[in-house]
Structure 1
């Protein structure tokens, strides 16, 4: 149990203070998105975002209103429909919260080269953005693999559907922790 200083009056402040104390032991945050397509330059945008901490606890897990139609090809991959995102927050509304969460933290993404361009500031508030896909390929001496393949290789147990942001962020966390263990075994 955390000991809260007396000057922290509201429960929200106590939770924020307690969370910041816990993050001292957490080495990274894990982020995943689902999108309307592959090209933010062509107008594709985020329809779901999740960030989990190093303990696997969700910090943010929300659908995002892209303010445009979700093409059937994208829905076929992640299952997110126009009806599901209607009335959800837009990315513009979520960005301040996302920036606050990642500020000064290492953010790990599976295929960071894909996700980063969907954020207007490319996650600059993070102290570092790392790509689990590149690290996984480098560690195994092979080519880039899909998250599902890497997750299976490291024994990840899915708690949701692949290609949903929370499930994928948790899988990325498992892969990253396995990679950290590989480095310790080589020393």
Structure 2
């Protein structure tokens, strides 16, 4: 089973080289590109003020991070959750850049860019010339955005996990995961309940006879062996 980690950050601004810091990081474990129940989520004291303009975007204020751990205090736990697996993010260079800046302050190595999977790049390749923000992709794939009033990192991860399934062809539109006669499972239901039990389907005598007649007309048919 292939493991990867999808993550998102919220920050005090746009440029880590000019003093902006990470104030929230969230991550979801994926197995075969589908989310498991394992998540990581921390609010972080950036050791500086959060500008009002940034708070208006993500909704996190100085009061919210008062008493929270610094990045140095959560770095080992975050890196352990990441492991050595591929790292998925939307506009991944932004999030990698901020985490690299935080790691550099701790004299820790940067994240390996070979691990980067950028869903924005995937979306641009699939939908060239179209809006490919997380909101735009959710609307395109008919993913519910009603809870997204600010850029909360954990909620963004959950939304991006559904978008990533669509971008990687893991689920066709109109075909719910592990669906059966009683109705399909949503991605969240699949995550908690697992797939439905498969049912054996047996061909009728008429179907077997029709298949045999069809195969008999084929030269060297492997089904005739």
TM-score (norm 2): 0.65
Separation in 2 of the partners of 1:105 and 1:28?
5
Q: How is 1:1-16 mapped onto 2 (pairs within 5 angstroms)?
A: none
Residue equivalent to 2:164: 176
Are the structure 2 counterparts of residues 90 and 159 from structure 1 closer, same or farther at C-alpha, using a change threshold of 3 Å? farther
Residue equivalent to 1:46: 22
Q: Give CA deviations for 1:115-165 in whole Å, capped at 9, x if unaligned.
A: 1111134433x8611100111111112356221111221222247434100
Aligned partner of 2:151 among 140, 160, 163 = 163
Deviates more, 1:38-47 or 1:168-177: 168-177
Separation in 2 of the partners of 1:142 and 1:182?
23
Separation in 2 of the partners of 1:122 and 1:34?
18
Are the structure 2 counterparts of residues 84 and 76 from structure 1 closer, same or farther at C-alpha, using a change threshold of 3 Å? same
Aligned partner of 2:121 among 134, 139, 150 = 134
> What's the secondary structure of 2:129's corresponding residue?
coil
| 8 Å Cα contact 1:108-1:132 kept in structure 2 | yes
Separation in 1 of the partners of 2:26 and 2:16?
18
> What's the secondary structure of 2:20's corresponding residue?
coil
Q: How is 1:19-34 mapped onto 2 (pairs within 5 angstroms)?
A: 24=1, 27-34=3-10
| 8 Å Cα contact 1:133-1:144 kept in structure 2 | no
Separation in 2 of the partners of 1:57 and 1:117?
27
Are the structure 2 counterparts of residues 136 and 39 from structure 1 closer, same or farther at C-alpha, using a change threshold of 3 Å? same
The alpha-carbon deviation at position 170 of structure 1 amounts to 1.1
Residue equivalent to 1:36: 12
Separation in 1 of the partners of 2:123 and 2:160?
10
| 8 Å Cα contact 2:5-2:29 kept in structure 1 | yes
The structure whose Rg is larger is 2
Deviates more, 1:27-36 or 1:76-85: 27-36
The alpha-carbon deviation at position 181 of structure 1 amounts to 1.0
1:92 aligns with 2:72: yes
Residue equivalent to 1:110: 90
Separation in 1 of the partners of 2:172 and 2:146?
27
Residue equivalent to 2:39: 59
Q: How many residues are aligned here? A: 160
Extract structure 1 runs of 4+ deviating beyond 4 A.
182-185
> What's the secondary structure of 2:169's corresponding residue?
helix
| 8 Å Cα contact 1:109-1:132 kept in structure 2 | yes
1:150 aligns with 2:144: no
Unaligned regions of 5+ residues in structure 1, if any?
A: 1-23
Q: Please give the root-mean-square deviation of Cα atoms over the aligned residues, in Å.
A: 2.4
